Amino acid sequence: MVILTLNCGSSSAKYQVYDWDNKDVLAVGIVERIGLEYSTIEQKSTGKEVYEARFSSPTHMEAIQLVLKMLVDEKYGCIKSLDEIGAVGHRVLHGGEYFKKSTLVTDEVIEKLKEIIPLGPLHMPANIMGIEVARKLMPNVPQAIVMDTAWHQTMEEAAFMYAVPYSWYKDYNVRRYGFHGTSHLYCAKRAAVLLGKENKDTNVIIMHIGNGASGCAVKNGVCIDTSMGLTPLEGLVMGSRSGDMDPAIIPYMCKNLGVTPAEMDTLLNKKSGLIGICGKSDRRDVHTAALEGDKLAQLGIDMEIHRIKKYIGAYAALLGRVDAVVFTAGVGEMGDHIRKGALSGLENFGIKLDEKKNALSHCRNTETCISADDSPVKIFVIPTDEELVMTEDAFALMNGTYDIHTNFHYTFESPDYVNKARARGLVENLKKTPELESIIAHPVRK
């Protein structure tokens, strides 16, 4: 049996096919430019040629139809029949106050999701559309939703409430929800394995740094605070999002620029962050420009590092004892200059980076330990695997064995767990950089 996971954005649909019995990824793919003059698809099936094509996809219906067709394609596909799909897991941005954990999709669930569209107007309509299309095309296959917000539901009121009129929370659900939950869940539980501790005994700080970025403080294995808020706009400096700022700036600049609240929302989400400072959001481009003397690119890097460092210090204060700091997602995994800058000067917190190890850790698929040998706090780079969390939740829901993450045991929480797809990637990494073997983070047997 295989599990299909779908992550539908406003103009894209990412997908993965996972062989549950053999614990291996069979295919990954993405459809982009949905709703534009033409769409594109790229699919990589294990042992097959990469499939790339342009096609017409006015809506997610055409996109997902093509995805299902290509999964069973003799030349490019990964399964013989759609009957092999046992469940579909959908990533959903927001669970609001309704969904505290993953759940199977019903008509009632979809209606509840539609009610909370105002909490995520940029993402929720596409998430819901993907679910509805998949249900229509695969009516007999169980469908599950996995919320970005679910992991953060363990926060206490003092952490998730804002100091605004309480009626805003009661009447309009204004509170901190947090996002990147599946990523933070995966990294928290993998960090416990690498530390040789029970999840419930582990205190870690996780920095998910990609185009979107968020931090999470994990105490005794659960989230106690996170940087994103009602929406993904709050917190760290991101590729195109502002992160933390004085709220009074908004009415001030609305007046000065003559823009509407909706236009200001677009400015803060799409035209701020690094792209607002230096005109670039891809960290590779920003780093290259800084090395070539671009002062605004260097300013953007300095601002990003400053904000990450500030959150690490704040979370260390909340946790008291810190077992590990974890970096994940594209920049967290590849941006050694960001990690170096963010961790420098934190020795008084017991966080000591080994710069040579840090420079070596510049690859995908490999869990590494980059802290100095005498560092009281471990520093891990853990490639996140949100799709695996979605896969396991979907399988367990279909199988009737699922429970909230504080009671549920994932396969990747075992020291003996082997991700076959990543193992293949690690072999390739070691061929390119044999020295990488010296910093691989191995599970500690209890």
Residue 444: per-residue pLDDT:
86
Question: Which residue, 14, 403, 365, 383, is CA-closest to 5?
Answer: 14
Of 19, 148, 323, 336, which one is the catalytic site residue? 148
Q: Give percent of the chain above pLDDT 90.
A: 85
Mean pLDDT throughout 16-28?
94
Domains of the chain: 2-147 (3.30.420.40), 196-382 (3.30.420.40)
pLDDT in tens, 130-149: 999 999 999 999 999 999 99
Question: Which residue, 188, 205, 220, 99, is CA-closest to 385?
Answer: 188
| Cβ 316 vs Cβ 224: under 8 Å | no
Is 282 labeled as ligand-binding?
Answer: yes
Residue 86: per-residue pLDDT:
95
**Is residue 10's pLDDT more than 80?**
no
Residue 421: per-residue pLDDT:
83
| Cβ 284 vs Cβ 292: under 8 Å | no
Q: pTM of the predicted model, to two decimals?
A: 0.94
Residue 66: per-residue pLDDT:
94
Residue 123: per-residue pLDDT:
84
Is 283 labeled as ligand-binding?
Answer: yes
Residue 121: per-residue pLDDT:
82
Mean pLDDT throughout 317-324?
97
Question: Which residue, 382, 365, 334, is CA-closest to 428?
Answer: 365
Q: Give percent of the chain above pLDDT 70.
A: 100
Is 321 labeled as ligand-binding?
Answer: no
**Is residue 122's pLDDT more than 80?**
no
Residue 51: per-residue pLDDT:
95
| Cβ 384 vs Cβ 328: under 8 Å | yes
Residue 36 confidence class, pLDDT cut points 50, 70, 90: confident
Residue 337: per-residue pLDDT:
96
Is 7 labeled as ligand-binding?
Answer: yes
Mean residue pLDDT across the chain: 94
Residue 77: per-residue pLDDT:
94
Mean pLDDT throughout 349-369?
93
Residue 28: per-residue pLDDT:
95
Clarify whether 148 is annotated catalytic. yes
- For the four alpha carbons of 302, 237, 363 and 352, in that order, the dihedral sign comes to positive
Mean pLDDT throughout 351-366?
92
pLDDT in tens, 205-232: 999 999 899 999 999 999 999 999 999 9
Is 91 labeled as ligand-binding?
Answer: yes
Is 209 labeled as ligand-binding?
Answer: yes
Residue 446 confidence class, pLDDT cut points 50, 70, 90: low
386-399 vs 181-195: helix crossing angle, rounded to 10: 100
283-291 vs 295-319: helix crossing angle, rounded to 10: 120
Question: Which residue, 217, 144, 171, is CA-closest to 395?
Answer: 144
Is 210 labeled as ligand-binding?
Answer: yes
Report which of residues 281 and 248 the model is more confident about.
248
Mean pLDDT throughout 174-186?
96
